[in-house]
Amino acid sequence: MFAALAVIPACNSDVPVSAVGEITPPGLHVTITRVATHPFLARFSLRLTVTAPNGCSATSDLFPDTGGVSRRNVYRGGTDRLYVVGQFDVRRFDLQGCRIELMEFRSVERDLLFVGSFDIDISGHWTFLAADVRPERPFQPL
């Protein structure tokens, strides 16, 4: 019985955990929701939702975390564009078209402004860490 109690804290919950970042312009909310897909391994499904102050809202499933790759960096691009960049995927949100598109890495515009990351914080909680809280952590090539 004691062994069973010791294992319980090590189990992943399949309860969705959302982190929200408010990005300029005010009222632009970026949310990434993680849901564990394995009871013991660090595997998660990820869903991106962007809600704009003009009432527009778009949602997209992201490349799943199959072992320690949940982090997503958020960047501001040209006029009314946000990029959500992961180890294996890039999504671009276009405010004018109110849509999220899967992009190729080579198609991402240059001179993006880093605004923050969705990641695990120091206490192990899924959260949004603004650029003034934690500097950019680029992804390492595989």
User: pLDDT by residue (tens digit) across 32-41?
Assistant: 999 988 777 7
Of the candidate ranges 4-8, 44-48, 83-87, the one whose mean pLDDT is the lowest: 4-8
Per-residue pLDDT band for 141 (boundaries 50, 70, 90) equals low
Q: What is the DSSP string of the chain?
A: -HHHHHHGGGSPP-S-EEEEEEETTTTEEEEEEEEESSSSS--EEEEEEEE-TTS-EEEEEEEEESSS---EEEEE-STTEEEEE-SS-EEEEETTTTEEEEE-GGGSPSSPEEEEEEEE-TTS-EEEEETTTS---PPPP-
Mean of pLDDT values over 69-82: 90
pLDDT averaged over the chain? 86
% of the chain with per-residue pLDDT over 90: 56
In Å, the largest CA–CA distance within the chain is 59
pLDDT digits (tens, 9 = 90+) for 39-59: 777 788 999 999 998 899 999
Structural domain spans, the chain: 15-130
pLDDT digits (tens, 9 = 90+) for 92-110: 999 889 999 999 988 888 8
Per the model's pLDDT, the better-predicted residue between 111 and 10 turns out to be: 111
% of the chain with per-residue pLDDT over 70: 90
What pTM does this model have?
0.87
Per the model's pLDDT, the better-predicted residue between 9 and 116 turns out to be: 116
Look at residue 1 and tell me whether its pLDDT is greater than 90.
no
